Structures are given as structure tokens and as C-alpha cells.
Amino acid sequence: MGNDELLPFVQITTFQPDKVVDITAVSKNNLYTHLAQYLPLDNVFVAVKISGCFDKLKIRRPFVQQKPYPSVVKVFEQQVVDTVEDVSGTLIGFWTPEFFKELSVAGFHLHFIDTTRKLGGHVIDFMASKTELAFERKQAVEIVLPEDEEYLRKNLKMDDLNNVIKQVEN
Ligand SMILES: [Zn+2]
């Protein structure tokens, strides 16, 4: 990405895997079990990368938003959901421990991009019979907040926010 490109929210990291392993029969539901074989992950952040051919993927993509910006619930309702089969590509994302759920989405938050770089999105569900799993434990987190007036003066109501996040991410 160029230095002048803007995103409302981003989670980034460097990635030097602690371990790379071949895994079979992995899905969103059992990814925790797979990863927990190699490291205790209940109390740490983990950066995850899964590459290979996916038997099934359910992904969603929001549309581009213009000012005045719609609420995240509106964006959520109008997004495109795709279910695709036998697609090669990479899942990347983070594992966030439950007790950090107010800082990020607890559990796995994964995004997909296919090998042609044409299809991608937020992963709702996935299944793969044979893939490569790479992961790196993350011991530190840095949060950078927006500096603009609009953000500084925004009245962020925690209860509303929690409801919205629950609705959108689960
Ligand atoms: Zn996402």
C-alpha cells in the first residue's frame, strides 16, 4: 500500500513464524484445537497464517463508504457474502484471548486473499483438508488512536459499541 492510503481501522504486524506445520482437516471451529497443540494460547495474542487450497470458504466484503459515513450496522447489512469452493490462497489474522475482548475481537479474526489477488474478505467460516499453518506468538500490542477533531470529540458509548461488535463479528 502507498503511504497516502487511508483505512479506518487496521491491525498489522511483522511476521516471523515461530513454527510452520502441515495440518489436515482444519476449520474455523477446530483451529483453536490445532493451534493449542503447539502453544498455550489462552493468554497471548497470536498472528496466524494458513496457506493452501480451501475446500470451502465463506467470506464477506463491505462496500466502499463515503461521507457522511453510515453506521457499522448499516455497512454490515449491505455487505456481500460469498461462499466459494476449492479456492487456493492465504488466510491471515490474529488470535485474541477472551480477556482482551474489549481491545479486539476475541477468538480468531481472519481475512482471506486468493492466489490471483482477486477474491478476498473477512472470513466467516472455512474448511480445508490439507494446509500449512504458520504462527507467531505476539507478546506486545501497540494501539495508535486517530488524531482528528471528529474522533477526539466523538461520544463513544461502550454498551452500544459492544452490541454492535457482537452483532457484526459473530
Ligand atoms: Zn475482519
Residue 155 has a pLDDT of 85
Spatial contact of 123 and 94, defined as CB atoms under 8 Å apart: no
Residue 161 in any domain: the answer is yes
Is residue 3 included in any domain, yes or no? no
Is 5 among the domain residues? Answer: no
pLDDT at 95: 96
- Residue 71 DSSP class: P
Of 2, 92, 96, nearest to 50 by C-alpha is: 92
Alpha carbons 11 and 93: distance in angstroms, whole number: 9
CATH number of 48's domain: 3.30.1330.80
Q: How far is the CA of 16 from the centre of ligand 1 (A)?
A: 22
The model's confidence at residue 137, banded by pLDDT at 50, 70 and 90, is: very high
The whole-number pLDDT of residue 9 equals 81
Residue 41 has what DSSP assignment? -
Query: According to the model, what pLDDT value does residue 164 have?
Result: 76
**Residue 128 falls inside a structural domain:** yes
The pLDDT value recorded for residue 37 is: 96
Q: Is residue 11 part of a domain?
A: no
Å from CA of 123 to ligand 1 middle: 7
Ligand 1: centre distance to CA 112 (Å): 9
Q: What percent of the chain has pLDDT over 70?
A: 99
- pLDDT tens for 51-103 read 999 999 999 987 778 888 887 778 878 888 999 999 999 999 999 999 988 77
Q: Output the CA 40–ligand 1 centroid distance in Å.
A: 24
Distance 93 CA to ligand 1 centre (A): 8
**Cα 92 from Cα 94, distance rounded (Å):** 7
- Which pTM was predicted? 0.86
Q: Write out the three cell numbers for 31.
A: 483451529
* Percent above pLDDT 90 for the chain: 64
Is the residue at 1 inside a domain? no
**Average pLDDT score over the chain:** 90
Q: What is the mean pLDDT of residues 101-113?
A: 88
What's the mean pLDDT in 27-36?
Answer: 96
Q: How many whole angstroms from 122 Cα to the centroid of ligand 1?
A: 4
User: Looking at the 3D structure of the chain, how many domains does it have?
Assistant: 1
Q: What are phi and psi of 30, to 5 degrees?
A: -105, 10
125 alpha carbon – ligand 1 mean position (Å): 12
Q: For residue 22, what are the CA distances in angstroms to 6, 96, 97, 105?
A: 36, 22, 24, 26
Ligand 1 centre to CA of 79 (Å) is 12
Q: How many angstroms separate the CA atoms of 117 and 141, rounded? A: 28
Indicate whether 161 pLDDT > 80.
no
pLDDT of residue 69: 83
C-alpha of residue 61 to centroid of ligand 1, in Å: 9
H or E element in which residue 162 lies: helix 158-169
Domain, as residue range, for 126 = 19-169
pLDDT the model gives residue 169 = 67
C-alpha 76 – ligand 1 centre gap (Å): 11
Distance 95 CA to ligand 1 centre (A): 12
Q: Does the structure show a pLDDT above 70 at 34?
A: yes
Instruction: For residue 100, tell me if it sits in a domain.
Output: yes
In-domain check, residue 37: yes
